[in-house]
Structure 1
């Protein structure tokens, strides 16, 4: 019994302790629920803040791009090209262009939607849309919509990347208030489609990357495939879209390299699982974009079924697949002893000769053969006629009626001077490495120089012994003894050759510019039965054959765009906006459209690129010296997210330094968009970068054995710092956005083409080397 009270006390003492613990646990659970509810409420409120800001900046972008879009009601700058191509699509008339078809098909689709028949061909800058009844507002609305969506996409890229609302606004405002982006998205040009698809590719890849811890799910596949489709749209608009593949592809390679790591934090992947990751990316980011790219060419060929201005770029087989093709209707079989005219496919000059000889010495001191000149002449003339002679003469009573075939060895007699075409190992006037072409008398040609007068008709894409025909047989004339190809170029000869084109023997036989064609047979009279042609059926050429031929020509002509242009610029001039491009002028109203970015935005964005590079360099140097100044989360954001944007900028900018073709300021627009993303993310880094926690503890210890700052005190200090920085970043972003709006407004008369400015107003805007009109 003595123990009973004690026992009772023991039991009694336990019950209140258990009850107290239950109260504490209950209070903790309630507090946790309150905290979670508060966080959910704050997150919901924050999400609505982002959505509201997205709606506002999208609305502003829409107004800026559609304001005064009907002015001018005339053809502006490169609208002469892309408006014309849309008309050709609507007329189903074949044309040739160096850009893939996707962006041009979209313009044609807009014309089809409003019922336009494509009768206006956008021949000259300044032609009236109103007089010619062109639905140009529908055409211009398409890039304006894409330009608006580009601003929204930039905002979403920053939002999806986890940046604060001020950072999202700054990045989007750099594009929203940029005069160059606005100018390119108000006209019938391809760059709005290109830049929007590029931005969409970045957004889709970020959404895909965020699902890396839940691979092979439905959403994972969706965003992977959408990334591939978006990238395909970029390269299907312009070939510079390949830079988007470089930027995203580099990040994919880095990601795969991390997945290969057996010591990765999330756990090692088996080789089988890694193989699935690799295969999925190959399918989503290579195969799907490629087949989508092919699809637009299939649409291109399916629409363009009629003969048109692009025929002459294509092979005869391709031309025969088009209806109403003049080549197929007028092509004649060539016989021996026919007199033909031979024209160079690329420069359009005729093979020509006359009685004058080459000079004894050229300007560089080299000696010529002083033989009869053989030149290229741009006009049809009797001195362009050449008789086709057989390698071995036929019997005199069986001289005519023998057809010429591909691969035959032939000779040519110039009918105007009765001389035989010849090439020999003598340097040509302009090219010491190339052979001279000349003509010699018949006696010499048939005795001493016979071998030098023999040529092979190497017909392109022809089967052995296929009939040699005018127009349709594109051939290389190969000198049989020395194996050089007859060639010409655009640089005219001096006055001693009347400024005509040089003809020489090119040792590079495979060069595509060696191709010629027989244009006509003047010796066949108009009423001859040989000129009576039966109506031919349109041939069906396989898609891949047409695609490969067109691709080869597109790459060739794209690389050949090396001629000078008054407004061409070098990439080094782009980041700081040293010069623009004149798009359109009106002398009566003294108004003009001058393609120019917002200098404030471009200068700041370009400067921040250098700041980012400096921060990375300083951080790496600090780490080498054992100083870890950044929080791990901040460093990851800086390297992974901002680094991705920086790589995107570099991939869309630096390759232009390797190009030899014409380049213009608008080529920098995708890189400018990427620099805007870097600017927005770096602004947040500047205001919200957290110090390393260990360094924080180390710096707040007051001597050996002293107690460090508690976690609660550290959190309180961090919250106080963040609140201060939040006010600062909102203030900085507000001031910067206001400056951007001022820059847009100040240069808006040059972007919108209205109102016209007086001399003082023009001079006030002549910053750097902006060559504006009406400055006097």
Structure 2
């Protein structure tokens, strides 16, 4: 099992820096205990990281990249208005907590990159919280390597690499979720290492402490982003391997095996799940008010939000009833029309899907080929006036839907392509009509009832019960909507069209509200069931998953996983003339960590080959130790990297950061293995060389990290790969600056000469 202390029965290891994987340096041990020395080094590394993370953290004083989202979410937490996001809530709640403690009231406009922060926004405090978590990763990286039984030099180098990694620094200095995710990831791996240091003392106080802290770390990590599931997979894989070892150890009783299994189930499954669900419970409590995230959620969910509750409505619907119709598949809102026309196509009145309750959502149900004023029907019941017969709408009936606020215009379709979904099988839907014109067959829609909770609701339309389709009588297409937003000429509302052979879920509708003064007393009413916590929890996760998978739109800086290990891409975070923040990593670190990971894979296969062919092993006792140690981190890298190949959503370079952290740990372990073959001064020389390359590369790209001044020539020279898309034309040329300096110098000299002449002429 990885990083396990050698048992006393195993042969003694050769020394590395006078250190075995489990013993402190003998010379230093006489002066300082290993714990004290590690604490001192970790503290020193923390001090080194402080200026790296906090340098010019107030710059720029503008909204940068995804601060647009997460700064805005902090404000919504503070004001209590419901919002929707594809990520779990913990990191966002912590950002909001920092803002609230610093006095933020939640009323700043974060909607646009470049908006200037005013005095009401404690953006420096909010960024500083992220920076603090980022710098704490540096000592945690050191302790993680040391607790794995590796040398101080390898641990120091790994920590310094984390310290001077440009993409980590850029990410840590902004109001983003990744600082929180990475901090809890690093903490979890460190706690897991410390747990395995206690492997020879199972069920002791420290054993339980670090096992529980590992579970807490898992819960906190996955509560920031679902990427935390990959940390769970990494720890879970190692845990299963260890349980398998315990199960096969004849010296361990069956009772003890059960205890081991139950302890890990409690700490690594139940505790993380409890933390995860608790964050959503707090999330719902902090957001009691209706907000702009409502339209993502179902009507039953919305009933739990203050300001969005819907009164009970009559269950019965007849011809003449006024109704609002909600689309079921997208949660996009209500069938809607307004007094604006399509700029192309028929140029008739627009029909859209609108997420909010509005007077323009109301329609009157009319029977085909009839007028309500003159029609005499035999009706299903007599109205409340005792004279007017009311007729229900049954499956297969043909209806017309008259838009009440722009009457006599009616829901209409024809053989014209939809405004955005322009193809032969998607037709435009409009509202059409004028006074003294009863319309034509293009206003006719066949009611096809799909489902309902009762037999009656499956036979005739009933409010909030019947799911139905509206099929155009002449075009044979079904009224549908999808997650496509119309341009500004339709106010960004959702497209409604009529589609031939449409997928059924996108064509399902439900009547939410109805009014009809003629319904006979007593009027049967229906309301929504109010969901509890678990109902809201599972619905929100269903919407989060669907929305996350649907983030497939194009972005100029998106990238695929194949480009990440070799740092072939970056992301523009913020740009102004003469300065920019461009998210790009330290290429030396990316390339070295990638080489380390793939070198491990090659060597692992090579050593398997040697073992099968009975070839001699130059590291007979060391190799398994380093294989298991590096193997754990390689597994973490693989879980956090390879799984992104299965995702078809938008991806960016910052999705690689957790895998990069594991790659750095692999490099640290690999360095320690290399040190076995070197003399002490050679180890120091290698360490200085690696550290120098890392810091040189960090400084080279620091103007992109901090958004500081640069010259055009230096910018161009730093573009080591042609695929790096940061722009250099916004920087002033060094030659221009030099010329300006010469001009200023000439002006100064001329002034001195003139003053001298004047003085000599007129003393």
Do both proteins adopt the same fold according to a TM-score greater than 0.5, normalized to the shorter chain? Answer: yes
- CA RMSD, Structure 1 to Structure 2 (Å): 4.8
Residue aligning to 1:172? 159
Q: What's the offset of the Cα at 1:43?
A: 7.8
Q: Does 1:314 align with 2:304?
A: no
Residue aligning to 2:110? 122
548, 551, 557: which one aligns with 2:541: 551
* Counterpart secondary structure, 1:454: strand
Bigger-Rg structure (1/2): 1
Q: Does 1:328 align with 2:320?
A: no
Q: What's the offset of the Cα at 1:348?
A: 6.1
Q: Does 1:730 align with 2:715?
A: no
* Counterpart secondary structure, 1:743: helix
Whole-Å Cα distance in 2 between the matches of residues 178 and 612 of structure 1? 22
Residue aligning to 2:14? none
Question: Could you list the per-position Cα deviations for residues 242-289 of structure 1 after superposition, in whole angstroms to 9, with x for gaps in the alignment?
Answer: 11111111111111111111xx3xx43333322221122111111110
Whole-Å Cα distance in 2 between the matches of residues 92 and 474 of structure 1? 34
1:314–1:167: structure 2 CA closer, same or farther, 3 Å change rule?
Answer: same
463, 469, 473: which one aligns with 1:477: 469
1:46-85 pair list within 5 angstroms: 47-85=35-73
Q: What's the offset of the Cα at 1:477?
A: 2.9
351, 356, 365: which one aligns with 1:388: 365
Q: What's the offset of the Cα at 1:474?
A: 10
1:392-403 pair list within 5 angstroms: 394=379, 398=383
> TM-score scaled to structure 2, two decimals?
0.76
1:144-155 pair list within 5 angstroms: 144-155=131-142
Q: What's the offset of the Cα at 1:503?
A: 2.2
Whole-Å Cα distance in 1 between the matches of residues 366 and 603 of structure 2? 75
Whole-Å Cα distance in 2 between the matches of residues 382 and 125 of structure 1? 35
Whole-Å Cα distance in 2 between the matches of residues 62 and 593 of structure 1? 20
Question: Could you list the per-position Cα deviations for residues 658-697 of structure 1 after superposition, in whole angstroms to 9, with x for gaps in the alignment?
Answer: 00111000000000000000001001112216xxxxxxxx
Q: Does 1:773 align with 2:727?
A: yes
495, 503, 528: which one aligns with 2:498: 503
Residue aligning to 1:232? 219
Residue aligning to 2:210? 223
Q: Does 1:190 align with 2:183?
A: no
Q: Does 1:605 align with 2:558?
A: no
Whole-Å Cα distance in 2 between the matches of residues 503 and 435 of structure 1? 5
- Contact kept, 8 Å, 2:381 with 2:390, in 1: the verdict is no
Whole-Å Cα distance in 2 between the matches of residues 436 and 396 of structure 1? 37
Q: What's the offset of the Cα at 1:771?
A: 1.0
241, 256, 273: which one aligns with 2:228: 241
Task: Specify every segment of 5 or more residues in structure 1 that has no aligned partner in the other structure, as ranges.
Answer: 1-34, 357-370, 424-428, 494-498, 530-535, 690-723
1:349-748 pair list within 5 angstroms: 350=335, 377=352, 387-389=364-366, 394=379, 398=383, 411-415=398-402, 453-456=446-449, 458=451, 477=469, 486-489=479-482, 502-504=497-499, 508-509=503-504, 511=505, 513-514=506-507, 516=509, 541-587=531-577, 590-688=578-676, 725-748=679-702
> TM-score scaled to structure 1, two decimals?
0.75
* Counterpart secondary structure, 2:32: helix
- Contact kept, 8 Å, 2:303 with 2:528, in 1: the verdict is yes
- Contact kept, 8 Å, 1:436 with 1:505, in 2: the verdict is no
Q: What's the offset of the Cα at 1:475?
A: 5.3
Residue aligning to 1:210? 197
Whole-Å Cα distance in 2 between the matches of residues 565 and 208 of structure 1? 43
1:82–1:330: structure 2 CA closer, same or farther, 3 Å change rule?
Answer: farther
Aligned length: 666
Question: Could you list the per-position Cα deviations for residues 163-186 of structure 1 after superposition, in whole angstroms to 9, with x for gaps in the alignment?
Answer: 101110121122110010000010
Whole-Å Cα distance in 2 between the matches of residues 384 and 323 of structure 1? 22
1:258–1:419: structure 2 CA closer, same or farther, 3 Å change rule?
Answer: same
738, 750, 761: which one aligns with 2:714: 761
* Counterpart secondary structure, 2:227: helix
Residue aligning to 1:11? none
Whole-Å Cα distance in 2 between the matches of residues 250 and 307 of structure 1? 42
Deviates more, 1:393-402 or 1:152-161: 393-402
Whole-Å Cα distance in 2 between the matches of residues 401 and 188 of structure 1? 63
Residue aligning to 2:282? 299
Whole-Å Cα distance in 2 between the matches of residues 317 and 401 of structure 1? 33
Q: Does 1:163 align with 2:150?
A: yes
Q: What's the offset of the Cα at 1:134?
A: 0.6
Question: Could you list the per-position Cα deviations for residues 312-349 of structure 1 after superposition, in whole angstroms to 9, with x for gaps in the alignment?
Answer: 11222221221122x63798986532355646455668
Residue aligning to 1:708? none
Whole-Å Cα distance in 1 between the matches of residues 79 and 367 of structure 2? 45
Residue aligning to 1:103? 91
Q: What's the offset of the Cα at 1:236?
A: 0.3
1:437–1:78: structure 2 CA closer, same or farther, 3 Å change rule?
Answer: closer
1:306–1:274: structure 2 CA closer, same or farther, 3 Å change rule?
Answer: same
Question: Could you list the per-position Cα deviations for residues 439-497 of structure 1 after superposition, in whole angstroms to 9, with x for gaps in the alignment?
Answer: 99999989xx99x823227579999699966xx8895537699x99753336799xxxx
Whole-Å Cα distance in 1 between the matches of residues 719 and 648 of structure 2? 29
Higher relative helix content: 1
- Contact kept, 8 Å, 1:411 with 1:421, in 2: the verdict is no
Residue aligning to 1:199? 186
Deviates more, 1:89-98 or 1:628-637: 628-637
Residue aligning to 1:3? none
* Counterpart secondary structure, 1:453: strand
- Contact kept, 8 Å, 1:386 with 1:413, in 2: the verdict is no
1:183–1:177: structure 2 CA closer, same or farther, 3 Å change rule?
Answer: same
- Contact kept, 8 Å, 1:684 with 1:729, in 2: the verdict is no
